[in-house]
């Protein structure tokens, strides 16, 4: 929904001037989206503002998912090293995965759960230290971690909100 809203309203000065970053985690944003709406700016680094942060987590070998269909290439940024290329990030860079209950309360936190590297062909985030069957669910095939996109990188995303907000405040 955030990408849809930015497509429709993101080119308005009142929106663009206030956008720190949109975290469209688990969603796909393609070069065609950016071509059609050049005000959609994919995040390129840790402190960019006015941008969209995209990640789609999966296991190595996944070639098709509901979020990133086969033949599609999404923009992606690695939430462990904030790079958009194939630079791998070790699990030690993962500040903490947090698993919540349905109220949003954190019930389990696991520092250094997984490392990550971007699959540069698909624009997806490969979780390097996860066994797909450990995160099975009835909705998606093993290895498609859509339900865990936030959870696997929770603390890094949380830290990044503060970094981007600080960068935005410095500009304004």
pLDDT in tens, 88-128: 999 999 999 999 999 999 999 999 999 999 999 999 999 99
* Other residues' Cβ atoms within 10 Å of the Cβ of residue 144: 23
Chain centre distance of CA 12: 24
Give tens-digit pLDDT for 31-79: 999 999 999 999 999 999 999 999 999 999 999 999 999 999 999 999 9
**What is d(CA 13, CA 24) in angstroms, rounded to the nearest whole number?**
21
Tokens of 98: 């947090």
pTM: 0.95
CB crowding 46-78: b at 16 or more within 10 Å, else e: bbbbbbbbbbbbbbeebeebebbeeeebbbbbb
């Amino acid at each position: 929904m955030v990408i849809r809203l930015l497509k429709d309203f993101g080119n308005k000065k009142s929106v663009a001037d206030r956008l720190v970053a949109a975290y469209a985690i688990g969603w796909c944003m393609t070069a065609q989206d950016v071509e059609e709406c050049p005000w959609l700016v994919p995040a390129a680094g840790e402190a960019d503002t006015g941008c969209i942060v995209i990640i789609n987590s999966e296991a190595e070998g996944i070639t098709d998912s509901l979020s990133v269909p086969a033949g599609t290439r999404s923009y992606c940024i690695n939430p462990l090293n904030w790079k958009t290329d194939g630079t791998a990030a070790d699990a030690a860079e993962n500040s903490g995965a947090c698993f919540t209950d349905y109220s949003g309360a954190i019930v389990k936190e696991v520092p250094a759960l997984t490392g990550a590297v971007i699959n540069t062909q698909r624009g997806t985030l490969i979780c390097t230290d996860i066994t797909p069957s450990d995160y099975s669910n009835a909705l998606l095939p093993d290895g498609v971690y859509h339900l865990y996109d936030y959870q696997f990188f929770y603390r890094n995303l949380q830290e990044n909100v503060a970094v981007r907000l600080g960068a935005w405040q410095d500009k304004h």
